Structure 1
Amino acid sequence: MKYCINLLLGCILSIHAMAQHSSVSGTVKDKTTGEPLPGAVISFNGKKSLAGNDGRFLINLNSPASSQTLIISRIGYKSDTTTYEGSHITILLEASSQTLTDVVVTGTMKAVSKTASPVPVEVYTPQFFRRNPTPTIFDALQQVNGVRPQLNCNVCNTGDIHINGLEGPYTMVLIDGMPIVSALGSVYGLSGIPNSLVDRIEVVKGPASSLYGSEAIGGLINVITKNPLKAPLLSADVMATSWKEYNFDLGLKYKPWKKTTGLLGVNYFLFNNRIDKNHDQFTDVTQQNRIAIFNKYNFERQQNRQASLAVRYVYEDRWGGDTRWTKPFRGGDSLYAESIYTSRIELIGNYQLPTTEKLLFSGSFNSHIQRSAYGNNIFNASQQVAFGQLTWDKSLGSHDLLAGAVFRYTAYDDNTTATRDTLTGRNKPQHTPLPGIFLQDEISIADKQKLLLGARWDHHPVHGHIFTPRIAWKWNPTNDDVIRINAGTGFRVVNIFTEDHAALTGARDVLIPEELEPERSYNVNLNYVKKLYTKFFWVNFDASAWYTHFTNRIIPDYTTNTEQIIYRNLTGYSVSKGVSLNTEFGFTNGLKGHIGGTFQDVSIVSKNAGIKTTSRQMLTEKWSANWSLSYTFKKGEWTIDYTGNMYGPMDLPLLSEEDPRKPTSPVWSIQNIQVTKKLPHSIEVYCGIKNLLNWTPAKGNPFIIARSHDPFDKLVAKDANGVIQKVGVNGDPNPYRLTFDPNYVFAPNQGIRAFVGLRWTITGDKL
C-alpha cells in the first residue's frame, strides 16, 4: 500500500512538473526606460523564442524542463540569465556601452527616451567615432550623415560645421547643454575636447531658436561629457600617423573631497612636419601645437539634486603658409603665412535649487582671445560670453511644462571696422545684452501621440523684439514606428568678422554697403523611424525631409567684383530643402554598421527690378553619403572597420572667368580602414590607413592656391582702369589675370597616411 501511495505521489509530481514547465512566458524590457524590447532572443531548455513587438515571449515545451535557467540576449544589450519559477516573469536588460544611447536631452532640454522625444535627435557615442579615430570632434563629425566639416582656408585650415548644407554660423555648438562655443571660436570649440571625457554627441537638424536662441537657426551639436560618478578610473588613448601627427588623450577620475567626484581630462596634439606634396611651396596641412585641460566636478546632494562644475582651458599655436616661414617673418610681407595664437577658457555649471519645485540654474562663461596674422594683415580679437539660465520643470496631468528665463551677455572687440566708431574713428567694443524667456508644453494627447508647443522671446538692443515659436507632433503607430513633424522659426544676428575667414585674409577687400539685419527662417521637418528585428539581424531606418525658407540671409558675394567680398541683406529669399536616409544594422554573426545619404538643394533667389534670379549656394554639395562597416571575429577579439564618405559637386569661388581652376568640384571620396585587437587588462591596439584612395583637391586642378609665389601681389600689374595685366612686374607671367587667393577650398589637402594607436581603460574606484 505504501509503495502504491509513493508511486501515485511521484506520478502526480511528475505531471505537475511537466504542466508547470509545459510553457515559459515573460516580458523583456529596457532596464532604464522600462520600454518593451522586441527582438530579444530567449533560450530555455534547448529551445529559443523571439520577443514580439510588445516584448512578450512564449516557449512551448514538449517534455519536462531539465534546466531552470533562461538566457536572454539582444543586439545592443548585455546578455543576462535568470531563474524561471513557473510564473510570467519580467526581464530587465541593460543597454551595452557599445550601442547608441537611448536617452537624449538636447531636443527638449529634458532627459527623455530617444523614442519618446517629439524632436528627432541623433545620438553618437565614442564607440561610433572609434571606427575612424580622429584627434578632434571637428574631424570626427564627418561620419555623421548630413553633417560636413568644411575647411575655409587652404593655409590655416580653420573651418566650421555644415548641417544640411547650411554653413557653420548656423550651427550652435553646446557643451553639456551650454552655448559656450561662440562665433569667434567655433572651430576651436570643437578642438581640444578630450575624447576620453565625451559620453555622447547629440545632433538636432533644423532650427531650435525657440529653446536656444540665436545661432541655432540650422541645427545643434551638443557635446555631453561623462558623469564623473560613472566614468572609468583611468582611460588613455595615444595615436600617431605616418605624417608625424601625435595625439595624446587622458582621462582620470578622482575624489578630492567627500561627496565630490572629479574627472580630469588632458588632450595634447602636435603636428610639426612641413609637407608640400602639391609643390606650391605652401604647407598642405597647418602646423599645430595644442593642449587642452578639462576638469569636471559632480557634487552629491540630498534627494539626488544636481550640482556640477566644469572648466576647460585650450591653448593653440597654429600656422600654415610658405614652407620657408619662421616666426621672425610673422606679420611681415617677405614670406607669407597665417599664424594664429588662441587662448580660451570655459566654465560650465548647474545647480538644482533646494525647493519642492524642480528649479535648475545653469550657467557658463567663456573667454576667447585670438592673436592672428594673415600675411601682413593683423587680426587681434577677444570675446567674452556670459550665459545664465533658470528653468522650471513641472508635470501637470497630461502636460509636461518647461519654462525658463535666460540672459546672455557678449563682449567683443577687435582691430577691424566691426568695432570702430564711424564718426570718430576710435575703437568701440561691442557689448550685447540679450535677455529672453521661453515656455514649452509637451502634451500627451493619446497613448501613442504627443504634441509639443513652444515659444521664445528675446530682446536685442539693436534689432528689438524677436519672437520664435515652434510646434512638434509625434505618433507611434506601433512600437517599431515613429512619425514626427516639426515646424518652427529661427533667427541669427550676423557678425562678419568673427564668422567668415575669407573676410580676414586680406586676399580681397571687404565691402558692407548697408546695415546688416538679422537672418530669419521658417522650417518644417518630417521624420520617420522604422525598426526591424529578426533572429539574425536588426535594422533601424531613419528618414527625414525638410524645407527651410529664409526671408533674409547674409551671403558673401564673390562674383560681382573678383577683388571684393560684398555682404548685404538679401533682396529676395533663400531656400534649403532636401531628404536624408540613415540606416543602422547589426547581425548576430558580428557584422554591424551604418549607411547614410543626403540629397539637398540650397538656393538663393534674388530680385532685381522685378526679375528673379536663382543660383546655388557656393561650397554646398548636391548630395553626400557616408558609411561604416564593422566585423568582429568570434575568435581572437579582432575587429575590422571600414569607413568612408562621398560628396557630390559643389560650386566653387573663382577669381574670374579666366581662372583655370574647376568651377565645380568633382565627386570625391575619403575612405579609411582600421584593425583593432583587444588584449588582456582592457588594452586595445589599433592601426589602419586613412584616405585609402589618396584623394586631394589638387587632382585635376593646375593649382589650388592662386599665385602662391606672389602672396602679397607685389608682381601684379594693372592698367589705368584697374584691369590686371597678363604680364606683371619684371615680366612675371600672369596669363589668367589672377591675384593671390587661398580661399579655393572644399576638401582636405591631406593624402594617404597610416596610423597606429593604443587605448587602455581601468574601471573601479582605486588604482
Structure 2
Amino acid sequence: MFGQKGSISGIVSFQNQPQPYANIYVNEINKGSVSDENGVFEIPNIPYGLYTISVSILGFKTIKREIEIKNDEIYLDFKLEEIPSSLDEIVLSGTMKPVTKLESPIPVDVYSTSFFLKNPTPSIFESLQNVNGVRPQLNCNVCNTGDIHINGLEGPYTMVLIDGMPIVSGLSTVYGLTGIPQSLIERVEVVKGPASTLYGSEAVGGLINIITKNTLSAPSVSADIFASGWGELNTDIGLKYNLGSSAQGLLGVNYFNYQNPIDNNEDGFTDLTLQNRISIFNKFNFERKNNRIFSLAARYIYENRWGGQMIWSPEDRGSDEIYGESIYTNRWETFGIYQIPSSEQILFQFSFNGHKQDSYYGDTPFMADQIIGFGQLTWSKLIRKHDLLLGTSYRYTFYDDNTTATFNNQENKNMPSIIQLPGVFLQDEIRLNHQNKLVLAARYDYNSIHGNIFTPRFNYKWNSENQKNILRISMGNGFRIANVFTEDHAALTGARDVVFEEDLDPETSYNVNVNFVKKIFTSRNAFIGLDASAFYTYFNNRILPDYETNPNQIIYANLDGYSVSKGVSGNADITFSSGLKILTGFTLMDVSVNENGESYKQLLTESFQGVWSVSYPIPNWGVNLDYTGNLFGPMRLPLLGELDDRDEYSPWFSIQNIQITKFIGSYWQLYGGVKNLLNFVPPANSIARAFDPFDKDVIFDENGQVVPTPNNPNALTFDPTYVYASNQGIRAFFGIRYTLR
C-alpha cells in the first residue's frame, strides 16, 4: 500500500438542499476543496492512511469526521446543522494555532466580512468603530490621522497583524491602517490584553489580526464601489486566478479618492482631509509535494493626503504663510509562510516591509524611512495532554528621520536607529480533562539597545459539561519601547515644541483578565450569547505626553509613578428565528495616572463605550436592513492652560448609521443609507487660533509661556490636538456589489 493514493468526493447539504462554497479540509496534509453549486466536491491524490476531514461554512456547525483511505475513491455525505452564533468559528490569534473560538483558552472576538458590510467604510481603521472595547481615535483635526485604542490604551499598545505577521508598526502605526483592501478580508480577530508572550513587545494592550481570504474559498471576482454625499469614492476589486496547475493567486485593488474641500464649521480649515490613495495586494498559495503549506503575499500602498486652510494649494507646501499638512506615503510589504519538509509540524513565517514618508506640517518637514524584517520559526507537537509550541524569532528595524530622534548630539550628526530583537518563546497548552484547560507560556527577547525582556503568561479555561458556560482567566505582563515620532502624530503637528526630559526607559505592564461566556437557547428558537469580562492593567515607566505644563510644548518623560487601566465589558449576541439579529455591547473603564501622589484621568480616554448592530432580513423583498451605532462617554481633553475657555471634557456623543441592501439575483447587491444620522460634530473652536496657524501674533515670555494680550486674552497658541471625533457630519451613501463564485 506504500505510495498508493486515493481520492475523496461527496456532497454537502442542509435539509436535503445542496450547499455550495463549503470548505472541505484534510487536516493532516493541509489540502482541501470547495463544494460547487450542486454541493459536490472532490479532493484527489491523497495517500492511503487515517485522516480527519473538516467541513465548514459560515452559519453552520463545523463537521469533523475521521476516515481511513484504503480504496481508490471514497464517497462522503455531509449534512450540515445550523448554528445561531459564531462560537464554532476557527481562530488563530490566541495561541497561534487553529482552534474553534469555543475551545480557545484565550478570549478572541471574531468579526466576519458580513459584520463590516453592515456599515461600509473606505478603510479597516474606520470599520472598527462598532467593535466593543475598540475605538479608532483621530489624533489631529487637520490631517485626520489616528490610531486604534483597545480598552482605553493608545494605538502604540495595540499590535496590528496581517495573516499573523506584524506588518503595521512604527511609522505605519499612524498611516498604515488605511488601504487594506476590504474585498480580501476574511475576518478580523481581536485579543484584548497582553499578547506579548507570543507576538512580542508591541502587543501590550492587545492585538488585531486581519485574516485575508483563502484562495480556495475566495470568490472568482468581487467588486464593491460606493460613494458618499461628501464626494468620497471608494472602489474595492478582488480577483482569483490560477498560475498553472500548482498555484492560485488572489489580487485585490483598493482605490479611495476624496477631493472636495468642505468647511461646515467655518473655522477656515478643511473638515475632512483630502486623500488620493491606491493599494494593491496579491496573495499566492502554492501546492507542493506532500501538500505542505507555502503562501506568499505582497502589498503596495501610495497615498497623498492633505488638510489645512481652505485656500491652501500644493504650491504652499512647506510655506509659513498658508498652513497645510501634506503627507506623501509610499509603503511596500511582503510576507508568507512555508512548511518545512519534516515529519513534524514546523513552520517558517517571514515578513519584510518598507515605509517612506515625505511630509510637511505647516513649515515643519518630517522625512522618514523605515525598514523592518521579521522571521519566525515554530514547531508544534502534541504529546499526550500537552500541546506544545516552541518558537524563535528575529526582528530587524531600521529607522531614520530628520528629527532629534535620530540625531546624535555627541557625534553632532544624524545616526539612524538600528534595533535587533531576537527572541524565543514556549507555550504548553495542557488539556487537564474535558472541562479544564491550562496554558503556560513564556517569552524571552534581547533588545540590542535595552537588553533582556522576559514576558510570562498564564491562561485557564473551564467549561461546563454541555459547554453552555465558559470561564477564562488570563494573567501576564508586557514590555514596550516607545518611538515618539513614529507613534504620536501630535509630536509633529501644530506649533508645539517637542521636549525630552530624559532618555526614555521601556514600559512594563501587568495584566489580569476574567472572561465568562454563557449560551442560552429559548423555547421560541431564539439564541442568546452573553459575554462578560473584567480587566486590570498596571503600568510602570509609562511614557505619556504632557500637554499641560507648558502650552507651547509637548514634554515626554517616563511617568514618576504608575498608571492603571481597569474596567468591565459585556456583549450580547441575540438571534431570533425570524432572522432578526442583535449584537450589542458596552465597556465601562477607568484609565488613570498616579504621579507624585496625585491621581488624574488619562487624556482622550472615554469612561464609557456602547456599540450595537441590528439586522433584519425581509426575504420576500430580497432586502436586508442594518442599523449600527456607538455611544461614547466624556473624555478629558488637552487644554492649553488655565485660561483656555474650551470645555475640559467632551460631551456624550453618538454616531449612528442606517443601511438598506437589495439583493438582485445571485451576483448583485445595491445598498445605500445615511451615516451619522444625528449629525454630531465637535465644536467649531476645536482648533485653537485657527486664524493664526503660525502664531505670528502670539507673545511668549522668556520661559516660553504664552503672555495674555488683548488680541489673545486666553493665552492660546495654534493647536489641532483638541480632537475626539470627526468633523464629518450627516451624509448619504450609495453603493453596488458584484460577487461571482
Shared fold (TM-score greater than 0.5)? yes
Q: Secondary structure at the match of 2:733?
A: strand
Alpha-carbon distance between aligned partners in 2 of 1:393 and 1:380, rounded to the nearest angstrom: 43
Tell me the distance in 2 between the aligned counterparts of 1:137 and 1:650. Answer: 24
Deviations 1:130-174 (Å, cap 9, x if unpaired)?
111111000000110000000000000000000000000000000
Out of 605, 609, 614, the residue aligned to residue 624 of structure 1 is 609
Match of 2:685 in 1: 703
1:656 CA drift (Å): 1.2
Alignment of 1:249-288 (within 5 A): 249-288=236-275
Deviation at 1:182, TM superposition (A): 1.5
User: Is this contact kept in 1: 2:85–2:529, CA < 8 A?
Assistant: no
TM-superposed deviation, 1:304: 2.8
When residues 536 and 263 of structure 1 are mapped into structure 2, their CA distance, relative to the original with a 3 A threshold, is same
Contact 2:88 2:100 in 1 (8 A): no
Aligned to 1:572: 561
Residue of structure 2 aligned with 1:547, choices 529, 536, 540: 536
The equivalent of 1:433 in structure 2 is: 420
Matched-pair contact (CA < 8 Å) for 2:494–2:718: no
1:341 is the counterpart of 2:324: no
Determine whether 1:669 maps to 2:654: yes
Residue 51 of structure 2 corresponds to: none
**Alignment partner of 1:588 out of 577, 584, 607:** 577
Name the structure 1 match of 2:396: 409
How far has the Cα of 1:300 moved from its partner? Answer: 1.2
Match of 1:497 in 2: 485
- CA root-mean-square deviation: 2.1
Match of 1:27 in 2: none
Higher mean alpha-carbon deviation, 129-138 vs 301-310, is at: 301-310
SS in 2 for 1:423: coil
Summarize the alignment of residues 131-530 of structure 1 with structure 2, pairs less than 5 Å apart.
131-477=118-464, 478-530=466-518
SS of the equivalent of 2:198 reads: helix
Q: Is the strand fraction higher in 1 or 2?
A: 2
Deviations 1:198-221 (A, max 9, x none): 010000000011101111000000
Paired residues of 1:519 and 1:550 also in contact (CA < 8 A): yes
2:712 partner SS: coil
How far the C-alpha of 1:322 sits from its partner, in A, is 0.5
Q: Deviations over 1:241-283 (max 9, x none)?
A: 0000000000000002221000000000000000000001100
Out of 322-331 and 561-570, give the one that drifted further: 561-570
Q: Aligned AA for 1:584?
A: D
Displacement of 1:94: 6.1
SS in 1 for 2:595: strand
Amino acid at match of 1:606: E
Give the letter for the 1:738 counterpart: L
Q: Which runs of 5+ in 2 are unaligned?
A: 1-21, 27-56, 64-75
Select which of 714, 717, 720 maps to 2:699: 717
1:741 is matched with 719
- C-alpha contact 1:100 1:124 (8 A) present in aligned 2: no
Task: Note the C-alpha offset of 1:736.
Answer: 1.2
- Give the aligned partner of residue 58 of structure 1: none
Name the CA distance, whole Å, in 2 between partners of 1:540 and 1:562: 48
Task: Name the amino acid aligned to 2:723.
Answer: V
Shift of 1:558: 1.2
Structure 1 residue matching 2:660: 3-state secondary structure: strand
Q: Is the alpha carbon distance of 1:340 and 1:552 closer, same or farther for their aligned partners in structure 2, counting shifts above 3 Å?
A: same
Matched with 1:25 is none
Code of the residue aligned with 1:258 in structure 2: it is: S
Rounded Cα–Cα distance in structure 2 between residues aligned with 1:96 and 1:229: 23
Query: 1:556 aligns to what SS in structure 2?
Result: strand
Secondary structure, in 3 states, of the residue corresponding to 1:142? helix
Q: Find out whether 1:126 has 2:113 as its counterpart.
A: yes
**Could you report, residue by residue, the CA deviation over 1:355-386 in whole angstroms, capped at 9, with x for unpaired residues?**
11111000001100001100000000011100
User: 2:586 aligned with 1:597, yes or no?
Assistant: yes
**For the residues of structure 2 that align with 1:249 and 1:95, how far apart are their CA atoms?**
31
1:606/1:613 contact within 8 Å kept = yes
What is the TM-score when the length of structure 1 is the normalising length? Answer: 0.86
Aligned to 1:529, what secondary structure does the other structure show? strand
Residue aligning to 2:630: 645
Paired residue for 1:752?
730
Distance, in Å, in 2 between the alignment partners of 1:440 and 1:288 is 44
**Residue aligned with 1:127, SS:** helix
Separation (CA, whole Å) in 2 of partners of 1:617 and 1:756? 39
* Distance across 2 between alignment mates of 1:411 and 1:339: 24
Larger radius of gyration: 1
Please state how far the C-alpha of 1:461 moved relative to its aligned partner. Answer: 1.3
- Confirm or deny: 8 A CA contact 2:173 2:486 kept in the other structure: no
- The answer (yes or no) to whether the contact 1:642–1:673 under 8 Å persists in 2 is yes
Partners of 1:159 and 1:657 lie apart in 2 by 27
Whole-angstrom CA distance in 1 between matches of 2:490 and 2:161: 25
2-side partners of 1:79 and 1:210: how far apart?
Answer: 29
> What is the Cα deviation at residue 31 of structure 1?
9.6
State the distance in 1 between where 2:461 and 2:121 align: 36
Task: Tell me how far apart the structure 2 counterparts of residues 176 and 601 of structure 1 sit (CA, whole Å).
Answer: 32
1:585-644 per-residue CA deviation (whole Å, 9 max, x = no partner) reads 11111210201000001111113xxxx111110000001101010110131111111100
- For residue 184 of structure 1, report the CA deviation from its aligned partner: 0.9
In 2, Cα distance between equivalents of 1:545 and 1:442: 23
AA aligned to 1:504 is L
Question: Are 2:494 and 2:719, in contact at CA under 8 Å, matched by a contact in 1?
Answer: no
User: Which residue of structure 1 lines up, in the alignment, with residue 59 of structure 2?
Assistant: 76
Residues 40-73 of structure 1: CA distance to partner in whole angstroms, max 9, x if unpaired? xxxxxxxxxxxxxxxxxxxxxxxxxxxxxxxxxx
**How far did residue 572 of structure 1 move?**
0.9
Give the TM-score of the pair, scaled to structure 2.
0.89
Distance change >3 Å, CA 479–CA 671, structure 1 → 2: same
Distance 1:681 1:31 in 2: 19
Greater mean deviation of Cα atoms: 448-457 or 712-721: 712-721
Percent identical residues: 57
Relative distance call for 1:123 and 1:32 in structure 2 (3 A) is farther
> Secondary structure of the residue that 2:371 maps to in structure 1?
strand
The SS at the match of 2:620 is: coil
Q: Indicate if the aligned counterparts of 2:61 and 2:88 stay in contact, CA closer than 8 A.
A: no
Aligned partner of residue 166 in structure 1, secondary structure: coil
Query: More displaced, 383-392 or 184-193?
Result: 184-193
Task: Give the drift of 1:735.
Answer: 2.2
User: CA distance change for structure 1 residues 96 and 300 in 2, over 3 Å: closer, same or farther?
Assistant: farther
3-state SS of paired residue (2:126):
helix
| Alpha-carbon spacing, 1:99–1:427, altered in 2? closer, same or farther (3 Å) | same
Q: Secondary structure at the match of 1:635?
A: helix
Question: Would you say the 8 A contact 1:590–1:634 is kept in 2?
Answer: no
Contact map agreement 1:101 1:123 (CA 8 A) in 2: no
Unaligned runs of 5+ in 1: 1-29, 35-73, 81-88
Residue range with higher mean Cα deviation, 100-109 or 266-275: 100-109
CA distance in 2, matches of 1:101, 1:507: 52
Encode CA deviations 1:669-696: one digit per residue, 9 max, x unaligned: 0000000000014100000000000000
8 Å CA contact 1:472, 1:485 repeated in 2 = yes
The corresponding residue for 1:655 is: 640
Deviation track 1:546-576 (CA, whole Å, cap 9, x = no partner) reads: 1111122001111111111111111111111
Q: Secondary structure at the match of 2:486?
A: helix
Task: Tell me the SS of whatever aligns to 2:408.
Answer: coil
Cα distance in 2 between the residues matched to 1:452 and 1:31 = 30
